[in-house]
Amino acid sequence: TPVYTIASNAGVEGAVVVGKLLEQDNLDLGYDASK
């Protein structure tokens, strides 16, 4: 997924980020790789 790739490119474990996003009820959430 794009979120997984962006997180991985930012040096973060992509699967963890995707997992945390999927746990949320808000579908408008995203991941800010610049932080």
**Predicted TM-score (pTM) of this structure:** 0.69
What pLDDT does residue 1 have?
Answer: 78
Torsion angle in degrees (nearest 10) through CA of 20, 14, 33, 9 = 180
Span 1-35, pLDDT tens digits:
788 899 999 999 999 998 999 999 998 888 888 88
Q: Please name the residue ranges forming H helices in 1-35.
A: 2-9, 14-22
Q: What angle do CA 17, 2, 14 make, to 5 degrees?
A: 25
C-alpha pair distances (Å), 28 with each of 11, 25, 31: 23, 9, 10
